[in-house]
Structure 1
Amino acid sequence: MIKVLFVCLGNICRSPMAEAVFRHQVKEAALEDVIAIDSAGTGDWHIGHPPHQGTRDILDHYQISYEGMKARQVRPDDFHQFTYIIAMDESNIVNLASFAPEFIGSEKRASIHKLLDFSCNEALSEVPDPYYTGKFQEVYDMVEESCSRLLTHIVDQHGLIK
């Protein structure tokens, strides 16, 4: 099983949006039996809360389910459990080091990337936080395109058939 964890700051806007979008894409590709998806935040402010209303609104607009999703914080065992940890920005990657510093740079860890590493828009490197900007559509567009390319990467890297 290939496991993907999306990470942002509070786990109510960007990472749950990416989780829901990627889960939708994986289901459409009939790969839900081989790819598992989750999300978490580096902060603990929103643990147990559903996604932000702006995230829910944009996902509703595109008819993408977020049913049952609740914010959680990154755990040290995530570095053992997940194949890929996909952060929304550089500060998320820096913050990940505080959860399991012994795994950063180690071969015994998940492959850590920024989501926009998979974007075709090389001018962008970080997904902005719509909690502060209110630009949920802009973030959705980035997430949708990058998740699609991430899925292609995983399919290619692991010899899966879409």
Structure 2
Amino acid sequence: MISVLFVCLGNICRSPMAEAVFRHQLKSQGLEDVIKVDSAGTGDWHLGKVPHEGTRGLLDRHGISYEGMRARQVRLDDYSDYDYIVCMDTNNERDVRQMLGSRCDGHVKVFKFMDLLPERKTADVPDPYYTGNFEEVYELVSEGCAKLLERTVEQLKQLKPAGR
């Protein structure tokens, strides 16, 4: 099993969108039982809330479920529970690395989402809570999640015992 945690600031816009899109992509590939995905925020302002109405509306238009998703904050346990911690912007990555401390040297791979899309030449996924541009975020998230799916599928192949 491979596990992925998407992280943004409040866990109501970008990271739940990435979680929902990645789950949708996993389901379409029949991989939802071998790759675990979740999302969290570095802040605690929206704990227990459903995704932002802009995120929900966009996901509804694309037929992507966000059922059962509620905002939560990053926990120390996340660092032992997830293989990849994918941060939506530079500040999120800094905050996660500060929380991790020396754990950053362990098995967990912490990186920015836009590292999946170097050809885009932008450091951060813009926060639609402030910009209002949920479509732009959806395009980046869809493209980046597809790249992450390729990466995790390759990792799964390496984990499978030979001859199976």
Query: Normalising TM by the smaller chain, what interval?
Result: over 0.9
Letter in 1 for 2:113: L
1:138 and 2:118 are equivalent in the alignment: no
Partner secondary structure for residue 101 of structure 1 = helix
**Identical columns (%):** 54
Question: In 2, Cα distance between the equivalents of 1:156 and 1:99?
Answer: 29
Tell me the equivalent position of 2:47: 47
Q: CA deviation at 1:154?
A: 1.1
Question: In 2, Cα distance between the equivalents of 1:120 and 1:152?
Answer: 15
Question: In 2, Cα distance between the equivalents of 1:109 and 1:94?
Answer: 18
Question: In 2, Cα distance between the equivalents of 1:20 and 1:122?
Answer: 22
Question: In 2, Cα distance between the equivalents of 1:122 and 1:134?
Answer: 20
Tell me the equivalent position of 1:152: 150
Gaps of 5+ in 2: none
Q: CA deviation at 1:100?
A: 2.5
Question: In 1, Cα distance between the equivalents of 2:122 and 2:150?
Answer: 20
* CA deviation vs aligned residue, 1:91-149 (integer Å, no higher than 9, x gap): 00111123231212x1x241111111112533122100000000000000000000001
Tell me the equivalent position of 1:7: 7
Question: In 2, Cα distance between the equivalents of 1:140 and 1:112?
Answer: 21
Partner secondary structure for residue 26 of structure 1 = helix
Deviates more, 1:94-103 or 1:140-149: 94-103
* CA deviation vs aligned residue, 1:49-78 (integer Å, no higher than 9, x gap): 000000001000100000010000000110
Deviates more, 1:109-118 or 1:38-47: 109-118
Tell me the equivalent position of 1:65: 65
* CA deviation vs aligned residue, 1:22-81 (integer Å, no higher than 9, x gap): 000001011111101000000000000000000001000100000010000000110100
Cα RMSD after superposing both structures: 1.4
Question: In 2, Cα distance between the equivalents of 1:119 and 1:82?
Answer: 21
Partner secondary structure for residue 76 of structure 1 = coil
Gaps of 5+ in 1: none
1:20 and 2:15 are equivalent in the alignment: no
Letter in 1 for 2:72: R
Tell me the equivalent position of 1:78: 78
Equivalenced residue count is: 159
Q: Where do 4+ consecutive residues of structure 1 move more than 4 Å?
A: none
Deviates more, 1:70-79 or 1:111-120: 111-120
1:36 and 2:57 are equivalent in the alignment: no
